[in-house]
Structure 1
Amino acid sequence: MSKRELVAVADRAEVLGQTRTLKMARSQHAYVRGSTVKFYEWLAESDGKVPTGPSIWICGDCHLGNLGPLADAKGKVEIQIRDLDQTVIGNPAHDIIRLALSLAAAARGFDLPGAATARMIEAIIAGYVEGLAGRDGANDDDQAAPIRKLLQVAGRRRWKHLAEERIEDIRPVIPLGSKYWPITKEERRLLSDLLASDTVARQWRSNAGGNDDTALELLDAAYWMKGCSSLGRLRYTVIARLGPDGSPALLDIKEATKAAAPRDEHAEMPRDNAMRVVTGARALSPHLGERMGAGRLGSTAVVIRELMPQDLKTELDELTADEAREVARSLASVVGRAHGRQLDNHQRTEWAAELTRQRSKSLDAPTWLWSSVVDLVGIHKSAYLDHCRRALLAA
C-alpha cells in the first residue's frame, strides 16, 4: 500500500466494517470466530439446557483462535487463553460450549467426518476434567503433537521475529501500510499522556526493573487494523522505551467496551471495562495478566498489553481425525486449568461430577454438550451462508 492509499481517520469505520465482513466470509470457522453475539443469543434462548457451574471468571469468547502460546515476564511459555475482551464472572459451561463449537467448525474445514467431531466432543470433556483437577502438565509430552510443535516454535522466537512479524523491521519504527495507519496529532498526544500516567508507568517500571524516576517514552505509534469481532474499536500499536537506555517494547493498546457475554448478575466485577479485562486475565491467564494494565485514553477505557515474541495464535493446518481429537483434549485442558485454579478441591470435584452426567451409551460425552454443538453448528452454517450472500451483494 502506497502513502497515497493509506487509510485516513475519516475512512477508518468504513474500511474496518468492510474488512470484518470479508474476514468472516472466508470460512465457516472464521464466521464462528467473528459472530460472538449470535452465540450469546443462543445461550439466552437455551436456559435450562446448559448446566450451571460455579460462578468464576470465564473467557466469554473461548474459541480456537483465542488460545495459544503465551510467555510470562521471564520468557516461560505455556498455552493459555490469549484474548479476554469478553471476560466476565459467569458460568464456566459457556467456555466449554464455545470451544466445542469452534473445534467442530474447524473440523468441517479440515473435511473430517461427523464421527471425528463426536470423538472431539468426548475429548473436550475428558481434557477439561483433567485440567480442572490439575492432573495434566502444561508442557509435558502428553500434549498433542501439533500443540507441542506450536510450543517449540514459540519458544525459539526472539524480539527480531516479533518486530519482523508485527512491524516488518527490527528498527523501532512502524512502517505505515495495510495494517498500520497514520494517527492524528491529538491521538499521539493522548497516547503519550497515557504512557506518562502514574498507573501505566509504575507497572512497566515494575516489570522492567526501572527506578521510580524512569519515564516511559513513546517512540512511534500507529492505528492497528487487527482482529475480527473487535474491528471498529480503537486500537493502536506503540513502540515505547523505559528510559533512554532501555530496550524498546511493543505495546498493544485496545479499547475496552462492555462485555456481551452473559454474567452472573450477583457477582461483583470492576465497573471499568479495562479493569474488568485485566482482572479476568490475571485470574485465567497469569502469563498474560502480569503484563497487562488498564488506563484511559482521554475518556476511553483501554487495555495496555506488552507483546512478547512467544505469543502466538493457535492456527492449525490440515489435521487427521486422531490429531483433531488430541488437539481438542489439549486445548480443553487449558480451559479446565484456567477455571480450576479459581476453585477449591470440593468445588472442582462437584463441577466435574455435574459435567459428566447425562452421558449416552454410544457417546462418552454429556448429551447437553453434544446437542448444544449440533444446534449451534446448524445455526451458524445457515447464518454463514447468508453472510456470504450479503458480502457478495455489498462487493
Structure 2
Amino acid sequence: MGEARLDKSLADKSSRAPRPSERGPILTRTRNLKMARSAHAYVRGSTVKFYEWLEASGGKLPSGPPVWICGDCHIGNMGPLADAKGRVDIQIRDLDQTVIGNPAHDLIRLGLSLASAARGSDLPGVITARMIEGVVEGYEAALAEDFEAKSRHPPMIGAVLGEATKRTWKHLAAERLNGDRPEIPIGKRFWPVSRAERRELEELCLGQPIRNLVTGLKSRDRKSEIRLLDAAYWMKGCSSLGRLRFAVLLEVDGGEGDRDICFLDLKEAVKAAAPRDPGAVMPRDNAERIVAGALALSPNLGHRMAACRLLGKSVIVRELMPQDMKIELTGLTPDEAMASARSLARVVGDAHGRQMEPQTRLAWLTELARNRSGLLDAPSWLWSSVVELTAAHEGAYLEHCRRHALGLDA
C-alpha cells in the first residue's frame, strides 16, 4: 500500500469541508489511514498501546527521579520552537501526555521512535543498536554538563533549526491561510464551525486569559484592542484526531496603526496515558497539567500557552509562531542516524535535567551506568524494551493496515 495512494484516499474522503455533525466518522477514518502510512506513523499514533505493551512486557525498569516527562517522546514531537521574543531552540513541542513520572519512559519512547525511523530508512539492525547507544550518550552528556548551554546539532537537524530561524509571518500565512488575507481557508484541513462554536470561541478569545497570552508575546501592548477575525475546526494531528481542535485568527490593535495578526491553536486536553509517579502532585485539570509540564520541559512553548474551558471541555491555547516546525527523519544514512539520536536525546536530557538538583542528576547518571554489557554501551533494560516494543508495534501495525487500509477502493 503506497503512501501516495493513502494520501489520495484522505484527500478524496475530506475534499468537501464537512458540517459539524459530519465530523466524527471522517476524523476516525482519517486517523486510521494516517496511522497506516508507515510503521513510524503508527508509532506516533499509538501512545496508549505503547504503555499497555510496556506494562505487559514485564521488564524491570529503573526508578528514575520523578520529574515532568513528555510521556510521548517520539521524533515528531520535537523540533524548533520560538520563545515569546522570537528566539529559537529545539525543544519538545507536544506535551499532551506530560506527567510527573519516570524519565526512563521518555528514553524508551524515543528509542522506539528512532528504531522505527531506522527501519523506514532501510538501515541494518546494527545501526539501530548504535542509535540506542547514541541516545544514552546524548542524554548522559546533557545531565553531566551544563544542561542549559546551547546544544550543537548535527547538519541534518541543524538545517531544520536554521530554516526555522529565518521564517517570518509570511511563511506561516502562506502555509495556513489564504495568502496574506486574514482568513482561514475552508476546505480539506479547515472546516466550518457552528454558530454556537463561533460564539463560545469569540467569548473565550476576548476574555482575560487569552488577552494576557497574546499581549504577552512580541512585546504587544497590554491595552491593545482584540478582535476575532476568523475561526475554523482544524483537522490536525494524529493521536489527537477526534478531539476538539480549532484554529482562530485574532487582530491585536495597539493603536496608531500598529496592528498585528495572531494565529491561535486550541486543542482539547484529555487524560494522559503515561503513568504518573504515585506521590506526584499535579493539577487535576488536564489543560493546567499540560501547561505546567510545558513550562518545565519546553519553556519556549510553555510561556506561549494558556489553560482554558471551551464548550464544557478543558482546552490548551497557544499562539503559533512561524519558527515552530517538526523534525522529520527520512532517508537517513548511518552517520546521520547516529548523530540525530545523540542530538535528540540531548534535548530530552536538557528537559529532564533542568528539573533536577545536582545530586539527583548524579544519582540518575549512576543508575543509567548500571546493567551494561560489554557488547552494547546502553543499559540492558533500554535495549530489551526497544526490541520487544518494536516487535509488538510491527505486528500491530500490519494488523492495523489489514483492518483499515485494504478497502480504499470501496
TM-score of the superposed pair, with normalisation by structure 2: 0.92
The Cα of 1:168 is off from its aligned counterpart by: 4.4
Residue among 189, 195, 219 paired with 2:205: 195
Equivalent residue number for residue 377 of structure 2: 364
1:36 pairs with 2:47: yes
Give the direction of change, closer, same or farther, for the CA distance of 1:334–1:390 in structure 2 (3 Å limit).
Answer: same
The whole-number CA distance in structure 2 between the counterparts of 1:246 and 1:47 is 57
Tell me the matched-pair count: 394
Deviates most, 359-368 or 328-337: 359-368
Equivalent residue number for residue 126 of structure 1: 137
Matches within 5 A, 1:296-335: 296-335=309-348
The whole-number CA distance in structure 1 between the counterparts of 2:308 and 2:150 is 33
CA contact (8 A) 1:79 1:138 kept: no
The whole-number CA distance in structure 2 between the counterparts of 1:222 and 1:66 is 24
Q: Deviations over 1:238-263 (max 9, x none)?
A: 11122364300111010111111111
Equivalent residue number for residue 230 of structure 2: 220
Secondary structure at the counterpart of residue 216 of structure 2: helix
Matches within 5 A, 1:27-106: 27-46=38-57, 49-106=60-117
Give the direction of change, closer, same or farther, for the CA distance of 1:199–1:299 in structure 2 (3 Å limit).
Answer: same
The whole-number CA distance in structure 2 between the counterparts of 1:186 and 1:153 is 40
Equivalent residue number for residue 125 of structure 2: 114
TM-score of the superposed pair, with normalisation by structure 1: 0.96
The whole-number CA distance in structure 1 between the counterparts of 2:104 and 2:259 is 44
Secondary structure at the counterpart of residue 218 of structure 1: strand
The whole-number CA distance in structure 1 between the counterparts of 2:114 and 2:138 is 14
The whole-number CA distance in structure 2 between the counterparts of 1:28 and 1:393 is 16
Q: Deviations over 1:62-98 (max 9, x none)?
A: 0000000011111111110000001001000000000
Residue among 285, 292, 297 paired with 1:279: 292
The whole-number CA distance in structure 2 between the counterparts of 1:133 and 1:338 is 13
Give the direction of change, closer, same or farther, for the CA distance of 1:209–1:75 in structure 2 (3 Å limit).
Answer: closer
- The aligned amino acid for 1:13 is G
1:166 pairs with 2:179: no
Deviates most, 291-300 or 82-91: 291-300
The whole-number CA distance in structure 2 between the counterparts of 1:100 and 1:76 is 29
Equivalent residue number for residue 240 of structure 1: 250
- The aligned amino acid for 1:19 is T
Consecutive unaligned residues in structure 2, runs of 5 or more = 1-10
Secondary structure at the counterpart of residue 78 of structure 1: strand
Give the direction of change, closer, same or farther, for the CA distance of 1:392–1:104 in structure 2 (3 Å limit).
Answer: same
Matches within 5 A, 1:243-262: 243=253, 245-262=258-275
Equivalent residue number for residue 8 of structure 2: none
The whole-number CA distance in structure 1 between the counterparts of 2:356 and 2:72 is 21
- The aligned amino acid for 1:16 is L
Give the direction of change, closer, same or farther, for the CA distance of 1:137–1:272 in structure 2 (3 Å limit).
Answer: closer
Consecutive unaligned residues in structure 1, runs of 5 or more = none
CA contact (8 A) 1:134 1:337 kept: no
- The aligned amino acid for 2:61 is V
CA contact (8 A) 2:54 2:389 kept: no
CA contact (8 A) 1:196 1:215 kept: no
The whole-number CA distance in structure 2 between the counterparts of 1:270 and 1:369 is 30
CA contact (8 A) 1:78 1:138 kept: no
